[in-house]
Chain A
């Protein structure tokens, strides 16, 4: 039982490059989330998926797209990376009113 897994752990991009962050959970949770964490700003919700087949914008969706590929997987795509997207990205999953379970994070640097 791996919980929530994320790949890659680290990534360096040049401005304008694209990439996809992968997330998978094995807890059969309906809901999945993508957050970014920046110093002094806490966790800010980028997108979430309340159930398979649905996605909704969070607080900071600009510059990102998501895909809920199936119940297990929820990917985050940066089409044209910008330095402002340098951050640590966390994926999480949850069920109903219960708590979220977080992945180990991806540290992304955009030069």
Chain B
């Protein structure tokens, strides 16, 4: 069974600081990888996804993530965060050809103006 680890549970940054959130998964085969964001009081929305090809994927609102197969990682980055990025971020993995999706425990990001 696949699993997902997000090591940072709570991150506090000042506006304009750079962000990197870690995500590691365990699954030996082909995977589809996702980052979702949940703003306070709302449901999850997709930030970006990786299926195949270029391991550096760009998403909405200036976010990007890099898939490093050898490290089983899919870290989320943003060069300069804004107060409006305050939210909870979830990494998720879906093994190729299967429909079961596993989420990490989430990272709460607080951006201080």
Taking Cβ atoms with an 8 Å cutoff, the residues of A that contact B are 30-31, 33, 35, 40-45, 48, 50, 56, 58-59, 90, 92, 94, 97-100, 102-105
Contacts and interface: CB of A to CB of B under 8 A. Distances in A.
B43 A104 contact: yes
10 contacts: A30-B99, A40-B9, A42-B90, A43-B103, A94-B99, A100-B34, A102-B43, A102-B45, A103-B43, A104-B42
Interface string B88-99: 001010101001
B81 to A, nearest CB: 21
Contacts, number: 55
A33 B44 CA distance: 13
B contact patch SS: loop
Contact of B100 (A43, A58, A92, A105): A58
B94 A97 contact: yes
A42 B7 CA distance: 12
Interface of B: 6, 9, 32, 34, 36, 42-46, 49, 51, 90, 92, 94, 96, 99-106
B44 A56 contact: no
Contact of A90 (B43, B46, B100): B43
A100 B101 contact: yes
Given A40-B9, A42-B90, A90-B44, A48 B100 contact: yes
B56 to A, nearest CB: 18
A82 to B, nearest CB: 23
B58 to A, nearest CB: 15
Contact of A40 (B99, B100, B102, B105): B105
B9 to A, nearest CB: 7
A31 B43 contact: no
Interface pairs A-B: 8 shortest CB-CB:
A42-B105, A50-B99, A43-B103, A102-B43, A99-B46, A31-B99, A42-B106, A102-B44
